């Protein structure tokens, strides 16, 4: 518990709910998000293990993006609680949650297409430090920022492209860079919402390698429709359907789950393997 972050607005988990807080970086309790009469997220309780490679799957409209919005702080939950690193972050804004290490991948608009890959990364490091550029030169600080930026670019396999303008990057490379910019925030948990959407098979392969090679201490939660990517990246899978958590377990458990089969295929019981064959 010593490593927990503190925040003015937050409070610690109660003793009854704190069980496993050390192992679980994210704990959702009865999380609900309503849009009028529709419960897009319906009393979801879920735990994500520290260092885990977690996937969230479910049919279109299941509430996956809505769940991410409530976890990242883009939307305020109608009911329920988000605990991050043992602390209730339900009252924090998206920026506040990012500051304590809970980050959602940026959208394309966060890249400056007229700037180089390196300059985009430098800007992200400067922003994460929260110290605006001063009018007078500070070579030591500049060097430190460049070194950090180069490290993040290297982590996402874009060292060869550091001088390229972002506008000249392929779709897949831009998404890799977005992950690099997220690393500048020094996250402990990154939420990826359909990161491989619109990617070619080769780009998807490259991107999967990047996510796989992220440092083990960074927990990832991926919403993904490409089930090959899910079964490759995830060591635990949660399944949403119509806002409710219908399954949660290892890839093998989820693959064998009848409720999951029904949600995806609309029919129970079949000899056909769901989501292809076990690797
Ligand atoms: N801003 C909104 N206002 C009203 N309803 C919304 C809003 N955003 C989402 N919804 C509804 O909430 C439900 C869950 O949507 P959500 O986008 O979270 O699903 P999803 O699982 O991410 O789907 P997909 O796989 O298509 O991305 C859907 O019925 C959707 O129409
Ligand atoms: Mg979605």
Coil, strand, or helix at residue 42?
A: strand
The three-state secondary structure class of 202 is: helix
In whole numbers, what is the pLDDT of the chain averaged over residues? 87
CA of 249 from ligand 1 middle (Å) equals: 24
Please choose, from the candidates 91, 79, 87, 92, the residue with its C-alpha nearest in 3D space to the C-alpha of residue 30: 79
Which ligand 1 atom minimizes the distance to the CA of 65?
22
Using pLDDT thresholds of 50, 70 and 90, give the confidence band for residue 138. Answer: confident
Q: Whose CA is nearest to atom 8 of ligand 1?
A: 66
Q: Which ligand is nearest to the CA of 58?
A: 1
Q: Are strands 53-57 and 219-223 parallel, antiparallel or unpaired?
A: parallel
The whole-angstrom separation of Cα 11 and Cα 34 is 24
Does the structure show a pLDDT above 50 at 279?
no
Which residues are near ligand 1 (CB < 6 Å)? 35, 38, 40, 58, 60-66
List CB contacts of 251: < 8 A, sequence separation 6 or more. Answer: 230, 231, 234, 235, 236, 237
Q: Is the pLDDT of residue 10 over 50?
A: no
Whole-number Å distance between alpha carbons of 86 and 20? 9
pLDDT at 15: 40
Domain range list for the chain: 109-186
Q: What percent of the chain has pLDDT over 70?
A: 84
For residue range 171-190, list pLDDT tens digits in order.
Answer: 999 999 999 999 998 999 99
Give the Cα separation of 6 and 149 in Å (integer): 28
pLDDT reading at 210 higher than 90 = yes
| pLDDT at residue number 139 | 85
List phi, psi (to 5°) of 56: -120, 120
193-203 mean pLDDT:
93
- Give distance in angstroms: CA of 63 to centre of ligand 1: 6
Residue nearest to atom 26 of ligand 1 (CA): 60
194 CA closest ligand 1 atom index = 27
Q: Look at residue 267 in the predicted model and tell me its pLDDT.
A: 61
Task: Indicate which atom in ligand 1 lies nearest the CA of residue 240.
Answer: 21
Tell if the pTM clears 0.95, that is, is over it.
Answer: no
113 SS3 class: coil
pLDDT of residue 249: 96
- Ligand 2 centroid to Cα of residue 61, in Å, is 7
Atom 30, ligand 1: residue with shortest CA distance: 61
Nearest CA to ligand 1 atom 5: 35
- The bound ligand whose nearest atom lies closest to the alpha carbon of 71 is 1
Residues in contact with 137: Cβ distance below 8 Å, sequence separation at least 6, in sequence order: none
Cα 126 to ligand 2 centre (Å)? 30
CA of residue 50 to ligand 2 center, whole Å = 24
Say if residue 270's pLDDT is above 80. Answer: no
Q: Are 24 and 75 in contact (CB under 8 A)?
A: no
Contacts of residue 170, Cβ cutoff 8 Å, sequence gap at least 6? 203
Residues paired with residue 34 on neighbouring β-strands, in sequence order: 39
Model confidence at 2, in pLDDT bands (50, 70, 90)? very low
Which tens digit of pLDDT belongs to each residue from 37-47? 999 999 999 99
Strand partners, 241: 244
Token readout for 277 is 């064959």
Q: For residue 7, what pLDDT is reported?
A: 37
pLDDT digits (tens, 9 = 90+) for 227-256: 889 998 999 999 999 999 999 999 999 988
Q: Report residue 76's pLDDT band, with 50, 70 and 90 as the boundaries.
A: very high
* Mean pLDDT value across residues 106-123: 87
Neighbours of ion ligand 2 (CB under 5 A): 65
pLDDT at position 34 = 98
- Taking the C-alpha atoms of residue 110 and residue 250, their distance in angstroms, rounded to an integer, is 34
Residue 244 Cα, ligand 1 centroid: separation in angstroms?
13
């Amino acid at each position: 518990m010593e490593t927990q972050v503190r925040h003015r607005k937050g409070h610690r988990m109660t003793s009854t709910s704190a069980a496993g807080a050390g192992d679980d970086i994210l704990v959702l309790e009865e999380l609900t998000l309503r849009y009028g009469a529709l419960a897009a997220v319906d009393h979801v309780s879920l735990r994500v293990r520290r260092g885990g490679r977690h996937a969230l799957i479910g049919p279109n409209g299941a509430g996956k993006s809505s769940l991410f919005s409530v976890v990242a702080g883009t939307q305020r939950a109608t009911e329920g609680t988000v605990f991050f690193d043992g602390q209730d972050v339900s009252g924090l804004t998206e920026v506040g949650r990012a500051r304590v290490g809970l980050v959602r991948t940026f959208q394309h608009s966060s890249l400056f297409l007229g700037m180089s890959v390196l300059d985009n990364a430098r800007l992200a490091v400067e922003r994460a430090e929260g110290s605006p550029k001063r009018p007078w030169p500070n070579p030591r600080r500049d060097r430190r920022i460049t070194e950090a930026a180069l490290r993040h670019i290297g982590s996402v396999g874009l060292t060869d492209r550091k001088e390229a303008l972002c506008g000249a990057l392929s779709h897949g490379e831009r998404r890799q860079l977005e992950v690099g910019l997220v690393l500048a925030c020094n996250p402990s948990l990154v939420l990826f919402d359909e990161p491989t959407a619109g990617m070619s098979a080769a780009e998807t392969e490259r991107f999967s390698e990047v996510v796989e090679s992220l440092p083990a201490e960074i927990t990832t939660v991926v919403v993904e429709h490409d089930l090959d990517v899910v079964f490759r990246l995830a060591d635990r899978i949660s399944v949403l359907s119509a806002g409710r958590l219908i399954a949660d377990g290892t890839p093998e458990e989820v693959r064998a789950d009848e409720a999951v089969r029904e949600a995806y295929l609309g029919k129970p019981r079949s000899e056909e393997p769901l989501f292809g064959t076990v690797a």
